[in-house]
Structure 1
């Protein structure tokens, strides 16, 4: 008689989108600020980082000796039996191989957003989220800027794919998520205007255009491009 299958171990997950959360299975785990920043750094980099670089990035105001001591203390606090959260590799550190990271999945979705095939229905929920909002660490700024642009482009690409697949609901969701993330991004507004026109809602298309135009004028003193003018011009007697 065969023995019953053992229950699988709960997965450890780090969430970086819309804020930092460390979970073991469904249970959130408390992490001190220093350890939180270390885990976030290794999760964002997705590759081994030398100990000296980690210490200098996380404790930029400290001396090299003091920063190294802070790193050792933080690693000691993160030590746990079983699957480690942080793995040493020669003179470097990397995130534990068994740790799942939502940002990694989001990056993969962003990289494949324009590929042919049926889009992942859950992609919009991940791509509309910011990377560690509210964090102002110097090492993170460039990553946040990159992710902001990458996810906006991916959302627009997904909207086009959903639209081509006949899924207008998710096409609207993706385009609206891009607009909400960057209210001055004309390409996202243009996509929404096109979707409203395709759905036979000219009044909504005009409202979308006018809302964008008003905000663009108020915040930057600019006018919308001729491309979006041409979409709504026929609805306004040629006067956009």
Structure 2
């Protein structure tokens, strides 16, 4: 008698980094805008969200009655092909079976390991183009969290002797926030460690020019001390 083996049931996966996408295994799932916003809201919150709070957040310009109706409509649309939202008393939560890339990225940002693939995750924006206030608060948090993580990652790569990926992580931080001095300082130090004083000086001068143009400020003594010997020799 031949035993039948059941194929594993694929988990729904929700992508919030670099844009919204929902899929079940390899099959994409079409989601209307209102339902997209509901899934994103629930995915970004750590616990259940009261229905009234969800409705007011997602449809702030509508009356409470109209917002509640829009919420019910979005929930009905999400009922198929797989239940993505569960009710907890008078609150809503994302089904625990839904795999969310942003939640994995947050864990990575909290404890970045010396993994080259981590740089690609940490340089990715959260829901680019979304301008709702509840999204922007999370976008701001993610931006700061990944900047710190990229700098930590760069230092860990440097300590492992992997200057190539150390440069990539520091450069990703600079590209995310061009005015972040600590990221520029890391790049300057890496160029010096690689025996590239000219590149270190160009990095410093580029940052100094940008800082003057944008904020009318000078770089701090911390980064200036790194290239002070180069400035002396250039005279």
- Calculate the TM-score normalised by the size of structure 2: 0.95
Instruction: Identify the residue that residue 183 of structure 2 maps to in structure 1.
Output: 188
Aligned Cα root-mean-square deviation (Å): 1.6
How far apart, CA to CA, are the structure 1 residues paired with 2:108 and 2:164? 19
SS of the residue aligned with 1:122? helix
How far apart, CA to CA, are the structure 2 residues paired with 1:121 and 1:26? 25
Structure 1 unaligned spans of 5+: none
Deviation of 1:11 after TM superposition, in Å, equals 2.6
Runs of 4+ in structure 1 displaced over 6 angstroms? none
Instruction: Identify the residue that residue 145 of structure 2 maps to in structure 1.
Output: 150
Structure 2 unaligned spans of 5+: none
Equivalent residues of 1:152, 1:178 under 8 A apart: yes
Alignment partner for residue 206 of structure 2, among 211, 215, 218?
211
Deviation of 1:104 after TM superposition, in Å, equals 0.3
How far apart, CA to CA, are the structure 2 residues paired with 1:201 and 1:29? 50
Instruction: Identify the residue that residue 68 of structure 2 maps to in structure 1.
Output: 68
How far apart, CA to CA, are the structure 2 residues paired with 1:27 and 1:170? 34
How far apart, CA to CA, are the structure 2 residues paired with 1:221 and 1:215? 9
Equivalent residues of 1:159, 1:172 under 8 A apart: yes
Paired residues in the alignment total 235
1:19 aligns with 2:19: yes
Deviation of 1:18 after TM superposition, in Å, equals 1.4
Q: Deviations over 1:149-193 (max 9, x none)?
A: 111011101111111112211111110100000001000000011
Deviation of 1:120 after TM superposition, in Å, equals 3.0
Alignment partner for residue 133 of structure 1, among 119, 128, 135?
128
- Calculate the TM-score normalised by the size of structure 1: 0.93
Instruction: Identify the residue that residue 195 of structure 2 maps to in structure 1.
Output: 200
Structure 1 residues 2 and 186: alpha-carbon distance in aligned structure 2, compared to 1, 3 A threshold: farther
Structure 1 residues 209 and 89: alpha-carbon distance in aligned structure 2, compared to 1, 3 A threshold: same
